[in-house]
Chain A
């Protein structure tokens, strides 16, 4: 049997990205934001469809990644597709691979195009983390069921006396979603573990976070984020840019923040990805569709790799997935012009970089005889990342692939890898090029 990672993801027909756009990423203010997950997907998706030279009925399918759709958004992919004006005949489905759901949507779309099953697929991700539900505790649910059964004044009075204040406290869905149920650690705690393992200092993390903000500020100023389209809420408020950017984000400010996940830890809200709402879409096409509708080619999805690892160290996912991807394609770090490593936590990105240069780690864990190499900061997350932009978990995977292609276009570069860590102990990496194979 060949080794686990030897098969390329898209051995069939080439898969092209012809267009893409996303909503601004909106930082959560602690209460439900103005858009639900499907609203965000519709706002971006209908714009994207509007500028295509074909009608929506030409799409083979719509695939949307989302981790926590709302209660009215079961199979949110279909909900979004119908709402944005796709006819009934365009099928749609939803994928969930936690933080990589958006990338999973692209992978699924690409697989179908490569195999010849589809020619034109709209794929992306959406998340409205600010809408994560508050849940009732099981004893409260039991109490309510009892209330339904008890009839009469006296019985109901008795039932009423059985309620305890602790039962009334809600479960915060978002916190539970960001906690690994198999190892009982929050995502932030897994980041603390990596900080310890690779001795990453608080200063180092904060500097990385600050750089993220500075790079985003420059990209906004230079109008490099042209994939972002303005959206208008029903109440008339307008959102044009990613609003998580800290304009006052001075180094000492970041340094003053208290750790949020562990009392004596290092990971703060400032050096972690923000809780954010947002959606991103890419339009994927076969060569046949590109020719038929004379579509402009933004780039090509060459390969994709999913790797599994210890859930308590999930932040190293990008190192595992990228290593396997490079190896399979017989490429080195230097062959890749630009990288997007999703900034779930500053320490987690830094840990990945350190791991790829660590002789022992590369040998033991990644099956590399020598260290994989150093990623130049000049080629990594050049326009900021989730720490400044935000990380709507279902959408980020699509965002980083789209933006990586935009960077390659701007820099007239050839190749890139977009990769992210996935809660639950996985890593995903996607190899893209502007056009054609990378030599």
Chain B
């Protein structure tokens, strides 16, 4: 690439005070990332400044959406050896070190996002200031991709904040607003975006003291105390992540603990650790998911009129939480149920969610004001989207639709959150069956990013597209699925849940079943999941799916229900729960000593077998989407990259062989589905 083109990437301007302003404007892209070109161009600019020094330097972005979104993740997908990666990282580190060593003050002027490598660049400057508004997002989220900061960011953040403040930010990958970043010391100041330039100039001309950690924090950085601090950090981290599944945070702690006394060697150790992590399966899978998420988001990037008002009918857990989520995303929401008493718990939960997410009282108030309890259903006539989330009963839903349809504006989307009734059946009562779309949210709505957009046979493409765009508008990930029993997620989860019940029935201790699944990387064990969902709901969904998919429902489920054991909501399901809904520990099972490995295989293979069946039946159009759906909809072990990817890693032949063996041992439910053939 020639110099002229490089000069376009980092545009240079010098003002009358002798300050040099470098604006990053990556050509042909809406977002700035640290691509090789960007780094090369920066290197040229820095060389210029090294030969002819300025009075001060400001780095900022010419893009509206933010400063720098991070390193160019595409680079990580290309195959490299560890040494190649190491030297690539070292080059960037050395460039940043040169910025740090410039003989005049430097400043990063941040607006919008400043993530990963972007923040690492900012940390190499003497000062950082950021816009104090809703769009500013600052952080080092590398751990979410299975790596940790590698461009000297971990070294510098700890130097500036102290280990006890810096580590939690890097270990959690949490993103901060401008205000919180200033409070944490990640940046020097958060100012109104109007005053950003003036504040930058003031700082460079007056050179106030630079960010430094409190003395006690510096003390923790001594070789004497580091092992003890590292021990504490590891213990905290282990509460949230298993080292076998997520090695990156542990590696980060180790790099710090074992830091060489020479700063340059410390940088090299950081780079080496990242190079190793980058090549691990975990990181590769997490990066893959990063792109799958983009793909899902892209599916909903359609030109449809934006939604301003959503009407949700049914203020149960799902309906209420969908309504609260929509209000949180800035929409006006009317929430309908029969009486104020039925609406009230949803309002209470919404307030808790808003307080936790929005924090500022005036924002919480605005969100509460947008969420309007509407026992009379007045919002139906005004809404752009009407979502039905009442109990799963065909007649109730149909009679509701018949009352709704004449009230809807011609351009209003009608959606159902049904998880078990076929759209085609529901739509029979409608004048315009083509407008009914399934929008299947997952519990808890605020955590589960996926929404299955169910395409009935009669659903018109226009309405489906509007549904997809709506899902993206409310910051969830849309996945088109065919209208078939259980759609994608519940269908795949059901055999896995039933296998867990079968294992319990066989006398395997409940804790061992859950542990086997969690050791695999599932966020929650299947028995605990059944208790959380409610055994009555499990039974009714299982009954519906059993007929369609030829599943056998173990009688244990019905036996528990007969005893009134409904799960968490009744205080007793498989487990017993105390008033805080915590599991009361007790011995369970009849001492069946099936090995943990066997338990895990049985659970996961039932799930995988159903995945093969879903692909075969065309529930989603390809295996990638299935993987994305399972990770974002059920929390399936992200570091494994999704079930299909996990099956392929394990070896398709291995899986089918094991299935065959189990089918002899445990019965036909393990017979490999014909869908496996397409996978091998």
Closest B residue to A42 using CB positions: B369
Q: Which residues from chain A contact B374 at a C-beta distance below 8 Å? A: 47, 50
Contact of A238 among B341, B365, B370 (CB under 8 A): B341
Known: A84-B369, A234-B368, A235-B351. A50 touches B382 (CB 8 A): yes
Does A83 lie at the interface of the complex (its beta carbon under 8 Å from any beta carbon of B)? yes
Task: Indicate if A240 sits at the interface (CB-CB under 8 A).
Answer: yes
The answer, yes or no, to whether B373 is at the interface (CB within 8 Å) is yes
B332 at the interface (CB under 8 A from A): yes
Given contacts A50-B379, A84-B369, A234-B348, 5 further A-B contacts (CB under 8 A): A46-B372, A50-B378, A83-B366, A232-B347, A235-B348
Does B334 belong to the interface (CB within 8 Å)? yes
Residue from A83, A84, A237 having most chain B Cβ neighbours under 10 A: A83
A231: which B residues are within 8 A, CB to CB?
340
Residues of A within 8 A of B535 (CB): none
Q: What are the 9 closest A-B residue pairs judged by CB atoms, nearest first?
A: A236-B348, A230-B340, A234-B351, A50-B378, A236-B344, A238-B340, A232-B347, A83-B369, A238-B344
A117 to B373, CA, bound (A): 34
20 contacts between A and B (CB under 8 A): A46-B369, A46-B372, A47-B374, A51-B376, A51-B378, A83-B366, A83-B369, A85-B332, A230-B375, A232-B340, A232-B347, A234-B347, A234-B348, A234-B368, A235-B348, A236-B347, A236-B351, A237-B344, A238-B340, A238-B341
Determine the distance from Cα of A238 to Cα of B343 in the docked complex, in whole angstroms: 9
A47: which B residues are within 8 A, CB to CB?
Answer: 372, 374, 378
What residues on A are CB-neighbors of B344 within 8 Å? Answer: 232, 236-238
Contact yes or no, B369 A50, CB < 8 A: no
Q: In angstroms, how far is the closest chain A Cβ from the Cβ of B583?
A: 26
Chain B 359-392 near chain A by CB (<8 Å), digits 1 or 0: 0000001101110111110110010000000000
- The 0/1 profile, CB within 8 Å of B marked 1, for residues 191-233 of chain A is 0000000000000000000000000000000000000001111
Does B444 make an interface contact (CB < 8 A)?
no
Could you say which residues of chain A place their CB within 8 Å of the CB of B365?
83
The answer, yes or no, to whether B564 is at the interface (CB within 8 Å) is: no
- Interface status of B345 (Cβ within 8 A of chain A): yes
Report the Cα distance A234→B347, complex, angstroms. 6
CB distance from A84 to the nearest CB of B (A): 7
Helix, strand, loop or mixed for chain A's interface? Answer: loop
Which chain A residues border B348 with CB–CB below 8 Å?
A: 234-236
In the complex, chain B residues 315-370 whose Cβ is within 8 Å of any chain A Cβ:
332, 334, 339-341, 343-345, 347-348, 351, 365-366, 368-370
**Are A240's CB and B340's CB within 8 A?**
yes
In whole Å, how far is A21's beta carbon from the nearest beta carbon of chain B?
11
What chain A residues lie within 8 Å of B372 (beta carbons)?
46-47, 50
Which B residues fall within an 8 A CB radius of A?
Answer: 332, 334, 339-341, 343-345, 347-348, 351, 365-366, 368-370, 372-376, 378-379, 382
User: Looking across the interface, which residue of chain A has its beta carbon closest to that of B332?
Assistant: A85
Report Cα–Cα, A83/B367, bound state, in Å.
10
Which of chain B's residues have a CB closer than 8 A to the CB of A83? 365-366, 369
Task: Say whether B378 contacts A232, CB under 8 Å.
Answer: no
CA distance A161 to B340 in the complex (A): 55
CB-nearest residue of chain A to B364: A234
**Which residues in window 41-61 of A have CB below 8 A to B?**
42, 46-47, 50-51
The number of inter-chain residue pairs (CB within 8 angstroms) is 48
Q: In the complex the two chains form, is A50's CB within 8 Å of B373's CB?
A: no
Instruction: Check B340 against A85 for contact (C-beta < 8 Å).
Output: no
Q: Which residues of B contact A240 (CB under 8 A)?
A: 340
CA distance A263 to B379 in the complex (A): 54
Q: Which residue of A lies closest to B355 (CB)?
A: A234
State in angstroms the CA–CA spacing of A237 and B344 once bound together.
7
Give the residue name and chain of the A residue nearest to B365 (CB). A83
Closest to B368 in A: A234
Shortest beta-carbon distance from B352 to chain A in Å: 9
Measured CB to CB, the closest approach of chain B to A71, in angstroms, equals: 13
Q: How far is the CA of A46 from the CA of B378 in the complex (A)?
A: 11
Closest A residue, CB atoms, query B343: A232
Complex CA gap A220/B365 in Å reads 32
Taking CB atoms, residues of chain A closer than 8 Å to B370 are 85
Rounded to whole Å, the gap between the CB of A285 and the closest CB of chain B is: 19
Bound together, the chains give a CA A276 to CA B373 distance in angstroms of 23
Tell me the bound Cα distance from A228 to B374 in angstroms.
Answer: 14
Contact pattern, A 82-111, Cβ under 8 Å of B = 1, otherwise 0: 011100000000000000000000000000
- Residues 231 to 260 of chain A near chain B (Cβ within 8 Å): 231-238, 240
A51 to B348, CA, bound (A): 24
Determine whether the beta carbon of A236 is less than 8 Å from that of B345. yes
Among residues of A, the one whose C-beta sits closest to the C-beta of B347 is A232
Residue of B nearest to A234 (CB): B351
Residues of A within 8 A of B376 (CB): 51
Contact in complex: A85, B369 (CB < 8 Å): yes
Name the B residues within 8 Å of A234 (CB-CB).
347-348, 351, 368
A233–B347 Cα distance when bound, in Å, is 8
Assembled-state Cα–Cα distance A85/B351 (Å): 18
Q: Which B residue sits closest to A46, measured CB to CB?
A: B372
**Chain A residues in 8 Å Cβ range of B382:** 50
When A50-B334, A83-B366, A238-B344 are in contact, do A232 and B379 touch as well, CB less than 8 Å? no
Shortest CB distance A231–B (Å): 8
Smallest Cβ distance from A340 to chain B, in angstroms?
A: 27
When distances are taken between beta carbons in the complex, the residues of chain A under 8 Å from B378 are 47, 50-51
Docked complex Cα distance between A240 and B366 (Å): 23
Q: How far is the CA of A26 from the CA of B520 in the complex (A)?
A: 55
Q: Which chain B residues border A46 with CB–CB below 8 Å? A: 369, 372
Binary CB contact string for chain A from 10 to 41 against chain B (1 if under 8 A, 0 otherwise): 00000000000000000000000000000000
Complex formed: what's the CA distance from A319 to B370 in Å? 44
Residues in B neighbouring A232, C-beta threshold 8 A: 340, 343-344, 347, 373
Bound complex: CA of A230 vs CA of B382, how far in Å? 21
- Closest CB of chain A to B355's CB: distance in Å? 9
Instruction: Give Cα distance in the complex from A47 to B375, angstroms.
Output: 10
Q: Complex Cα distance A240/B345, Å?
A: 15
Q: Collect the chain A residues with CB atoms within 8 Å of residue B366's CB.
A: 83
Bound Cα distance from A83 to B362, whole angstroms:
10
What is the distance, in angstroms, from B330's C-beta to the closest C-beta of chain A?
12
Q: Nearest chain-A residue to B351 (Cβ)?
A: A234
B525 CB to nearest A CB, Å: 31
What's the minimum C-beta distance from A435 to chain B, rounded to whole angstroms? 25
Residues of B within 8 A of A236 (CB): 344-345, 347-348, 351
Most buried by A among B368, B369, B379, B382: B369
- Give complex CA distance A70, B378 in Å: 31
Contacts of B373 in A (CB 8 A): 230, 232
Q: How many Å lie between the Cα of A50 and that of B365 in the bound state?
A: 19
The A272-305 residues at the B interface (CB cut-off 8 A) are none
Residues of A within 8 A of B339 (CB): 230
CA A51 – CA B366 in complex, angstroms?
21
Which residue of chain A is the closest to B381 with respect to CB atoms? A53
Complex Cα distance A46/B366, Å? 13
Q: Which residues of A contact B341 (CB under 8 A)?
A: 238
A237–B373 alpha-carbon span in the complex (Å):
13
Set of chain B residues within 8 Å of A51, measured between Cβ atoms? 376, 378
Q: How far is the CB of A34 from chain B (nearest CB, A)?
A: 11
Q: What is the CB-to-nearest-CB distance from A79 to chain B, in angstroms, rounded to a whole number? A: 10
Q: Which residues of B contact A235 (CB under 8 A)?
A: 348, 351
Nearest to A50 among chain B residues (CB) is: B378
B369: A residues at CB distance < 8 A: 42, 46, 83-85
Most buried by A among B332, B334, B373: B373
Which chain A residues border B375 with CB–CB below 8 Å?
Answer: 230
Chain A, residue nearest B376 (CB):
A51
Output the least CB separation between A81 and chain B (Å). Answer: 11
Q: Please give me the residue from chain B that is nearest to A236 by CB atom.
A: B348
Complex Cα distance A50/B334, Å?
9
Residue of A nearest to B339 (CB): A230
Interchain nearest-CB distance for B464 vs A (Å): 29
Contacts of B345 in A (CB 8 A): 236
Which residue of chain A has the shortest Cβ distance to B374 in the bound complex? Answer: A50
Whole-angstrom distance between the alpha carbons of A238 and B369 in the complex?
Answer: 16
CA distance A83 to B366 in the complex (A): 7
